[in-house]
């Protein structure tokens, strides 16, 4: 059984998120600084080991005032919790994709999260003879589960910021020649 370890290529990877604003619109953004690795036997994805670390200070929605608020104590509290981590093992074949369940640590709280990977590319060789592949996946989390419980009521029973956050992962991995 041959296993290979690939590292996230941060310049070709992105962790995007979206959340409802005032229950009528969707705010989108990204974490732009991440690292991690995956170790896998291409013949047996159930043996996979997956880890990622995200720099919480890289949170970006394109609005400095909003980003500053979200990085502050009401939400991410990046001074106290500068990183988000995910560590998972094993992949389960589901339809045309895979599911990976692991532990997400966000805001100092660790909870199990399942990521549904709907796209897993074939391995290719880049012009520098490195081996690469890419995955795209999605997870949904509830911010309250991670201790981010600020409630900002809006209108007739609504919230200014929704509780459910959708996280979209577009990750490219590289294994040096």
- The structural domains of the chain, ordered by start, are 4-175 (2.40.128.110)
Q: Please report the pLDDT score of residue 176 as a whole number.
A: 79
Is a pLDDT exceeding 90 seen at residue 45?
no
Give 171's Cβ-side CA count (13 Å radius): 28
- Residue 96 has a pLDDT of 86
Percent of the chain residues past pLDDT 90, beyond the cut: 72
Instruction: State the pLDDT at residue 103.
Output: 97
> Is 141 in contact with 104 (CB distance < 8 Å)?
yes
Please tell me the predicted confidence (pLDDT) of residue 151: 80
Is the pLDDT at 1 greater than 70, yes or no?
Answer: no
User: Quick one: pLDDT band at residue 42, thresholds 50, 70, 90?
Assistant: confident
DSSP sequence for 89-153 = E--EEETTEEEEEEEEEETTEEEEEEEEEEEEPPPEE-TTS-EEEEEEEEEEEEGGGGT-----E
- Whole-model pTM? 0.91
Average the pLDDT over 131-143 and give the result: 95
Q: Sign (positive/negative) of CA torsion 26, 32, 38, 42?
A: positive
pLDDT of 27 > 90? The answer is: yes
42 or 16: which leads in pLDDT: 16
| Mean pLDDT, the chain, integer | 92
Q: Which residue has the higher pLDDT, 61 or 96?
A: 61
**pLDDT (mean) for 64-77:** 94
Which whole number is the average pLDDT over 2-18?
94
């Amino acid at each position: 059984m041959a296993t290979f370890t690939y590292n996230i290529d941060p310049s070709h990877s992105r962790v995007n998120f979206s959340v409802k604003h005032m229950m009528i619109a969707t705010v989108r953004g990204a974490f732009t600084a991440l690292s991690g690795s995956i170790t896998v036997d291409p013949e047996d994805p159930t043996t996979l080991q997956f880890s990622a670390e995200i720099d919480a200070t890289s949170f970006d929605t394109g609005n400095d005032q909003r980003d500053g608020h979200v990085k502050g104590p009401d939400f991410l509290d990046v001074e106290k919790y500068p990183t988000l981590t995910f560590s998972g093992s094993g992949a389960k074949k589901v339809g045309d994709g895979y599911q990976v369940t692991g532990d997400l640590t966000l805001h100092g709280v660790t909870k199990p999260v399942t990521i549904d990977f709907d796209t897993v590319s074939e391995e290719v060789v880049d012009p520098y003879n490195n081996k690469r592949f890419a995955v795209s996946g999605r997870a949904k989390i509830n911010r309250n589960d991670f201790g981010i419980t600020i409630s900002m009521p809006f209108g007739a029973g609504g919230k200014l910021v929704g509780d459910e956050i959708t996280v979209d992962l577009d990750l490219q991995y590289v294994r040096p020649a």
